[in-house]
Amino acid sequence: MVNCKVLAIANQKGGTGKTTTTVNLGIGLAREGKKVLLVDADPQGDLTTSLGWPEQDNLSVTLATQLEGIVADREMDSHAGILHHEEGVDLIPSNIELAGLEVMLVNAMSRELTLKNYLNEVKRGYDYVLIDCMPSLGMLTINALAASDSVIVPVQAQYLPAKGMTQLMKTIGKVQRQINPALKVDGVLLTLADMRTNLARVTAESIRQNYGRMIKVYQTVIPVGVKAAETSAAGQSIYRYDKNGTVAKAYASFTREVVRDGERQRNKAEPSRSR
Ligand SMILES: Nc1ncnc2c1ncn2[C@@H]1O[C@H](COP(=O)(O)OP(=O)(O)OP(=O)(O)O)[C@@H](O)[C@H]1O
């Protein structure tokens, strides 16, 4: 696809809903008719488990294999290892081998661009590539930011995230200045919100106050839901596991926001097509 959009789902804080968002935004986009590739860029392999491959150590080709091939400048079948989930998305899986690869990257030529170089070989067939980042700002996350058009930042609505956000924004700024000037922050997604309290609203206001107009907070807020915590073990999206629940409705609405943003950005980039 000429207009493939690469999105990093990133926050160096753990447990903010990155993996859950990657699964349900990805499958949400597939349900809107988009061709979607999900990339597990976390050696914990949570995305791979969440999509139904808990025995990830048995996978013969993973993201680590492909990146190692790029580092070693070896001829590879770049589509080898891509898995197909029954809800219509593809996945480049990961397991703990990716941790060793991160160490190897430090001494590699174009070390920040290894993931970008790999994705350039596979993204052609997709409308969206979503990268589930690990909870750190190390070399793999830098690779994800270098390979992306935009970042979405899931933030737990319960916590005022000022300090962690500053660190993340500094890293994004550095990547924009030194590696990927076109990188955008599409927005902050408030997750795990207890809808009985006002905390989501307070957190959204705090982000707007601290980051001004620089960062958009998505209209949709993802509520806490018991069923949402069970989807990972079931290897299913929330749309299949609990299709009438509030979390499924919220992720469907968030997906529509992301599609609208994509259309707006495309029309801006190609004004003649919007007339
Ligand atoms: N809306 C929700 N309602 C209830 N539980 C949720 C919801 N979203 C995520 N969870 C649960 O919260 C935990 C953290 O979510 P998730 O793994 O998506 O976060 P993460 O940011 O990817 O974590 P890590 O930083 O460890 O990679 C998981 O146990 C997940 O099942």
Domains assigned to the chain:
5-258 (3.40.50.300)
> Is there an atom of ligand 1 within 6 Å of 229 CB?
yes
pTM of the model: 0.95
CA separation for the pair 18, 23 (Å, rounded):
9
> Is there an atom of ligand 1 within 6 Å of 42 CB?
yes
* pLDDT at residue 157, rounded to an integer: 85
- In the structure, what pLDDT confidence band is assigned to residue 274 with cuts at 50, 70 and 90? very low
- Ligand 1 atom closest to Cα of 23? 18
Q: Of all residues in the chain, what percent carry a pLDDT higher than 70?
A: 95
Asked if 47 contacts 23 with a C-beta cutoff of 8 angstroms, the reply is: yes
Q: Of all residues in the chain, what percent carry a pLDDT higher than 90?
A: 76
> How many angstroms does the Cα of residue 156 sit away from the middle of ligand 1?
10
> How many angstroms does the Cα of residue 21 sit away from the middle of ligand 1?
8
DSSP 64: H
Residue 117 has pLDDT above 90, yes or no: yes
Residue 95 has pLDDT above 90, yes or no: yes
Residue 39 has pLDDT above 90, yes or no: yes
Is ipTM beyond 0.85? yes
Q: Tokens for 203?
A: 């957190």
> Is there an atom of ligand 1 within 6 Å of 157 CB?
no
* pLDDT at residue 250, rounded to an integer: 98
Distances (CA, A) of 151 to 28, 66, 172: 17, 23, 9
- In the structure, what pLDDT confidence band is assigned to residue 1 with cuts at 50, 70 and 90? low
> Is there an atom of ligand 1 within 6 Å of 224 CB?
yes
Write the residue with the smallest CA distance to atom 13 of ligand 1: 15
- Ligand 1 atom closest to Cα of 191? 1
- Average pLDDT of the residues of the chain: 92
- Ligand 1 atom closest to Cα of 222? 1
In this predicted model, what pLDDT tens digit does every residue of 192-239 receive, in sequence order? 998 888 888 888 888 877 876 678 999 999 999 999 999 999 999 999
